[in-house]
Amino acid sequence: MANKIKIFDTTLRDGEQTPGVNLNVTEKLEVARQLEKLGVDIIEAGFAIASPGDFEAVKAVAEEIKNATVASLCRAIEGDIDRAWEAVKKAQNPRIHTFLATSEIHLKYKLKMTEEEVLERAVAMVKYAKKYCSDVEFSAEDASRTRPEFLIKVLEEVIKAGATVVNIPDTVGYATPAEFGKLIRIIREKVSNIDKAYISVHCHNDLGLAVANSLEAVLNGATQVECTINGLGERAGNTALEEVIMGIDTRSDFYGIGHNINTKQIYRSSKLVSSLTGIKVQPNKAIVGANAFAHESGIHQHGVLSERSTYEVMKPEKIGIPQNRMVLGKLSGRHAFEERLKEMGYTSLDPKKVQKAFEKFKSLADKKKVILDRDIEALIQEKVFEVPEIYEIDAFQVTSGNKNVATSTITLTRDQQSITEAATGHGPVDAAFNAIERVVGMSFTLEDYDLRAVTEGKDALGEVTVRISKEGKIFVGRGVSTDVIEASVKGFVNAINRAISEVGRNGIKPSDN
């Protein structure tokens, strides 16, 4: 077993394939910067050939990130490899990651190729990528369902061709820990030149075994784990980075292997990705869920107060969970606010954005007696990651009741001109959304609406996440307020501004009602 495991983060590629997730270049850069702070070894920044937007995002990440390898995924096709290299070539440490399916079911129904043809293509494309880049990873897609003898042959030949990493994906989450661990052990023992390459694993969570399979692979000789923040990914998602790392870290006596992750950045990374993607973390999610360190039972509370280890196997501070040590209110000044931001891990915010967040904080402090860390997080996420305010909210009014039709009047400002429209709806939120659509002259499909209380009490902040679609593209908006209708209006306008800002860049063509 290696002394340290390498962490390959694919949040920006496989994680973005989560249904409903659509990050722009600015958001991807923000995530990449946080992954660099987290200490991941490799950032897979995207699939460069997939779209112009993906290419630009991979290129931007490659040009900015200095302390991690930056990779782009590509099919085993010359054009894909060309595009991937064009995107990552300015990286401090570039990697080309090419893949080709090897299982019988994929060869028969998807590729329509023989094993001999697949072997020839894999070797040729690794050699082709090697002309560009010294660091080439080859993935045998659906490796866990591949005939072992053929898989061993493919791995030997691509390593001969120059592959520095061979990835063993459990593409559809079919494997069990025992058999996946056995497969890695067979590869380590029977691939004659395996000492010349890292063994990587990429597990999906269709049967809820992604983390277990990855950890079992580590025990059997895997030296790289591919994962995502919060376990994001297609279908049931990928191996969750935070669970693998804290498993290895907490049970170092069992795994006996190190890593380069700064665990105190785990919670911050989780919150950032959740905020930008609009995918909420379930409360009982291991490590980063809201209830992960919560104790309601009186017996548990007594035990933890007497000795933490009675009911906690790790300290919340270890993953950077903020503690509500400083109570902020309406009499607090900017200095205290900035100090609290630093304590919470927000150390590189633009001063103008800090000022905007502080103004929102003072406004909120007039409505709430006590401002908690979760309130501040919500304000920061709303102000720092906002999109250009093409439409700004000037005023809104809503009337609703159990015996009258809900109506709303909305005034938005664009280019210093105010536009006012009114509409009815099945409720106050629906009426407000209808009025907003009349103002902007565009209709959208509301894919999802999520309202949650940021903190407790009657004066709690309400955070609304709105997911809308236009011509097949998904846009996420967020709004925060103590007034849930205002939060809803803010979230909807934020999503619309995001959609309009994409016009002309990704082929979105707004149409009138």
Please give the C-alpha separations between residue 241 and each of 263, 274, 374, 419, 444, in angstroms, as whole numbers: 11, 14, 23, 47, 35
Judged on CB neighbours under 10 Å (0-12, 13-18, 19+), 513 is: exposed
One pLDDT digit (tens) per residue for the chain, 513 residues: 568 999 999 999 999 999 888 899 999 999 999 999 999 999 999 999 999 999 999 999 999 999 999 999 999 999 999 999 999 999 999 999 999 999 999 999 999 999 999 999 999 999 999 999 999 999 999 999 999 999 999 999 999 999 999 999 999 999 999 999 999 999 999 999 999 999 999 999 999 999 999 999 999 999 999 999 999 999 999 999 999 999 999 999 999 999 999 999 999 999 999 999 999 999 899 999 877 776 544 465 456 557 777 877 888 889 998 543 344 666 667 776 787 777 666 766 778 878 888 887 887 777 666 666 667 776 776 654 556 789 999 999 999 998 889 999 999 999 999 999 999 999 999 999 999 999 999 999 999 898 988 766 666 778 898 989 888 888 888 888 889 999 999 999 999 998 888 764 444 444 433
User: Using H for helix, E for strand and C for coil, what is the string for 75-86?
Assistant: ECCHHHHHHHHH
Cβ density class 80-119: b for 16+ within 10 Å, e for less: bbbbbbbbbeebebbbbbbbbbbbeebbeeebebebeebb
CA distance 264 to 320: 4
Residue 51: CB partners within 8 Å, gap ≥ 6?
506
Please give the C-alpha separations between residue 157 and each of 74, 118, 142, 162, 295, in angstroms, as whole numbers: 19, 11, 18, 9, 53
Which of 109, 92, 87, 90 lies closest to 12, judged by CA? 87
CA distance 12 to 43: 8
In contact, 248 and 255? CB cutoff 8 Å = yes
Residues 392-501: name the CATH superfamily.
Alpha-isopropylmalate synthase LeuA, regulatory domain (3.30.160.270)
State the alpha helices, DSSP H only, in 89-133.
Answer: 104-106, 115-130
Model-level pTM? 0.77
| Residues paired with 291 in a beta bridge | none
CATH code, 6-277: 3.20.20.70
